[in-house]
């Protein structure tokens, strides 16, 4: 049961329920507010007040920020009917969270546990100004003192303006619960459901679930027990990490592993979208068909494809910028279904023909530029006067796009388009997709640059980091660049494939630093000379075995027409290891190599 606004009729009903279940703690009402002192400035900065339901039938809970996009709270807060299970997905009732910085943000998704009263709820926009709580990794010992915090009732206030804390002693527990008792007269009351239980280090060990509410305003005068039950979180660090971490790139079926998605341009002008799902070892199953565009519908040369999770459902979709013959340009999205197959495309933002966009001046990439959990379209536009602009089209909840709006523009006569290799990724680990660039100067020097995304999803001015001196002799045409979190530290790194003059092929990694810059490129696996033909390789990056490190995969065509999928996994240092093969397309399948694109 939850704290409600102080309407006499509603309060009366709550008191009747509390009295009726007073025979045992197991059936007691959920806890709601701490009766101890007010929270001091900086004591629990991650605390959040949750409001659930409409004005006429609202309820209040407490939560704690565990990530700039996610709050940990009690799943029971979100039950459409108290006592019923809470399904994952969009909340049944409108819900908002008010954070320590004063901002109020809508709650858009619930990820509940099915073994205890805990849920993670996702915020519509990230909260960068508030520090998240740290997670404990060990259960508190019996007799240890914990601090509970919440926005619920106190001994004398129905709906206090400020949070309160109380001290509680750990008693017995189970694999999923903690039994605690208030010290002195400290108690947990209505409104604190979902609030944190913190150890002496300020780390989260549990979530307030239910209590006797002894001494709380509105509780029976005879009720003096301050015992409560919390849901343990000390063993949930892995689950929390996996839930709050952004969806895996190229993961079309949402299983946590990147997959291979192929666009095939058939000879009769049909265009098919096929998925090869990744297996636990990083290999691939066969390609199976999703949507096929009917013949004579789309022109391959009028398409720019990008992949990303455009509707925020943790499955990678396909998006396309398409140019019509009259000069009109339109954005389309083909969402992935639960089986990992791309479905028919729908249109969203349109650029009218009279806008005069030059098709050959557009380079398109994808990533979550504003950190809201949805991938956006990021366009680099090479203006005719030599300025270079970075523009973002933010994705909407249905996977469509808003208009492109401007971020940083490189002044005229500053950069040469032919001397740039661009990659996108979250290079500083703030959950927003940035832009990075390898740039070659006329004297042969090569330098890495990063343009970070701001909170609105726009790329900001670039800063330089690692420099390759001219005398290193790097051949610009031998470099292919990709991005991904190769060492699993939460920051995207730069992955370089270098085609040596003696036909060796090397895989090198430049790890990203906390400021988004890069360390030097260091070597992983090198393919021996005379082993692979560069023109017979199509490379993609992704976490193909689900270990949170970005690997490299390759489609390779042999001289007899056989096509085979290979995967080179990343080790713990972020370096690509030797490749192993998986799915094979026999030569008699007749696949046309030039008809294949792996976006």
Task: Tell me the CATH class for 36-243.
Answer: mainly beta
Residues in the chain: 599
CA distance 167 to 169: 7
Position 304 scores a pLDDT of 98
Per-residue confidence band for 28, with pLDDT thresholds at 50, 70 and 90: very low
Averaged pLDDT for residues 443-458: 97
Instruction: Tell me the mean pLDDT in the region 97-104.
Output: 89
Q: Render pLDDT for 385-411 as a digit per residue (tens, 0 to 9).
A: 999 999 999 999 999 999 999 999 999
pLDDT of residue 55: 72
**141-145, 216-220, 348-352: least confidently modelled range:** 216-220
At 16, the pLDDT band (50, 70, 90 cuts) reads very low
What Å distances lie between residue 136 and 69, 177, 339, 393, 574, CA to CA?
19, 15, 36, 39, 27
- With tokens 């908002």, the residue in question is 96
Per domain, the residue ranges of the chain are 36-243
Torsion of CA 184, 188, 190, 194, to 10 degrees: 170
Q: Mean pLDDT lowest for which of 96-110, 159-173, 370-384, 554-568? A: 159-173
The pLDDT of residue 36 is above 80: no
pLDDT at res. 18: 28
Mean pLDDT of the chain: 89
Residue 159: pLDDT band with limits 50, 70, 90:
low
Rounded (5°) CA angle 53-57-61: 55
Whether residue 197 contacts residue 230, with contact meaning beta carbons closer than 8 Å, is answered with yes
Number of alpha carbons in the 13 Å side-chain half-sphere of residue 525: 14
Summarize pLDDT for 173-183 with one digit per residue, the tens: 899 999 998 88
Asked whether the beta carbons of 6 and 159 are under 8 A apart, the reply is yes
Model pLDDT for residues 52-73, shown as the tens digit of each residue: 988 777 888 999 999 888 999 9
Please tell me which residue, 156 or 254, carries the higher pLDDT value: 254
pLDDT digits (tens, 9 = 90+) for 226-246: 888 899 999 998 889 878 876
Q: What are phi and psi of 228, to 5 degrees?
A: -150, 160
Segment among 206-215, 278-287, 347-356 with least mean pLDDT: 206-215
The yes-or-no verdict on residue 550 having pLDDT over 50 is: yes
Whole-model pTM: value is 0.74
Of 197 and 183, the structure prediction assigns the larger pLDDT to: 197
Angle at CA of residue 554, ends 548 and 555, nearest 5°: 140
Of residues 176 and 88, the one with the higher pLDDT is 176
Q: Report pLDDT for 66.
A: 94
């Amino acid at each position: 049961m939850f704290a409600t606004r102080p309407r006499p009729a509603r309060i009366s009903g709550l008191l009747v329920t509390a009295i009726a279940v007073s025979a045992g703690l197991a059936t007691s009402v959920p806890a709601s507010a701490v009766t101890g002192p007010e929270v001091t400035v900086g004591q629990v900065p991650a605390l959040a007040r949750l409001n659930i339901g409409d004005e006429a039938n609202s309820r209040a809970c407490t939560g704690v920020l565990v990530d700039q996009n996610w709050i940990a709270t009690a799943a029971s807060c979100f039950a459409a009917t108290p006592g019923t299970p809470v399904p994952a997905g969009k909340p049944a009732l409108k819900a908002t969270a008010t954070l320590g910085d004063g901002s109020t943000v809508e709650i858009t998704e619930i990820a509940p546990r099915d073994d205890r009263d805990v849920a993670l709820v996702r915020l519509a926009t990230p909260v960068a100004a508030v520090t998240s709580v740290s997670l404990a990794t060990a259960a508190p010992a019996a007799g240890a003192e914990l601090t509970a915090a919440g926005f619920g009732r106190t001994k004398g206030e129905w709906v206090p303006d400020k949070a309160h804390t109380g001290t509680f002693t750990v008693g017995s527990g189970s694999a999923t619960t903690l039994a605690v008792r208030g010290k002195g007269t400290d108690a947990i009351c209505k409104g604190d459901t979902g609030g944190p239980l913190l150890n002496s280090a300020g780390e989260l060990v549990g979530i307030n679930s239910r209590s006797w509410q002894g001494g709380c305003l509105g509780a029976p005068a005879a009720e003096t027990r301050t015992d409560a039950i919390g849901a343990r979180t000390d063993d949930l660090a892995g689950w929390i990490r996996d839930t709050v971490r952004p969806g895996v790139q190229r993961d079309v079926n949402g299983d946590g592993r990147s997959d291979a998605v192929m666009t095939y341009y058939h000879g009769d002008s049909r265009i098919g979208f096929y998925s090869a799902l990744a297996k636990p070892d990083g290999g691939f199953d066969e390609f199976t068909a999703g949507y096929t565009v009917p013949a004579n519908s789309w022109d391959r040369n009028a398409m720019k494809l990008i992949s990303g999770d455009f509707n925020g459902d943790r499955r990678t979709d396909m998006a396309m910028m398409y140019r019509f013959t009259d000069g009109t340009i339109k954005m389309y999205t083909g969402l992935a279904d639960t089986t990992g197959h791309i479905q028919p495309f729908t249109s969203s933002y349109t650029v009218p023909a009279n806008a005069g966009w030059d098709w050959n001046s557009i380079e398109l990439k994808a990533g979550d530029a504003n950190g809201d959990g949805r991938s956006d379209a990021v366009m680099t536009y090479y203006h005719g006067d030599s300025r270079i602009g970075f523009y973002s089209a933010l994705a909407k909840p249905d996977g469509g796009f808003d208009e492109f709006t401007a971020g940083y523009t490189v002044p005229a006569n500053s950069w040469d388009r032919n001397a740039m290799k661009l990659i996108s990724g979250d290079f500083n680990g703030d959950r927003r997709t940035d832009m990075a660039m390898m740039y070659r100067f006329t004297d042969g020097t090569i330098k890495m640059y990063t343009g970070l995304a701001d909170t609105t999803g726009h790329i900001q001015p670039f800063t330089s980091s690692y420099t390759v001196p001219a005398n290193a002799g790097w051949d610009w045409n031998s470099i292919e660049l990709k991005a991904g979190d190769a060492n699993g530290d939460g920051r995207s790194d730069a992955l370089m494939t270098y085609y040596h003059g003696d036909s060796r092929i090397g895989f090198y990694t430049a790890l990203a630093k906390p400021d988004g810059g890069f360390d030097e490129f260091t070597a992983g696996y090198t393919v021996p000379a005379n082993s692979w033909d560069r023109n017979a390789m199509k490379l993609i990056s992704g976490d193909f075995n689900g270990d949170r490190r970005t690997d490299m995969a390759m489609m390779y065509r042999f001289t007899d027409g056989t096509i085979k999928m290979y995967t080179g996994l990343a080790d713990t240092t972020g370096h690509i290891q030797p490749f192993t093969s998986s799915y094979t397309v026999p030569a008699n399948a007749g696949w046309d190599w030039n008809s294949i694109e792996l976006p």
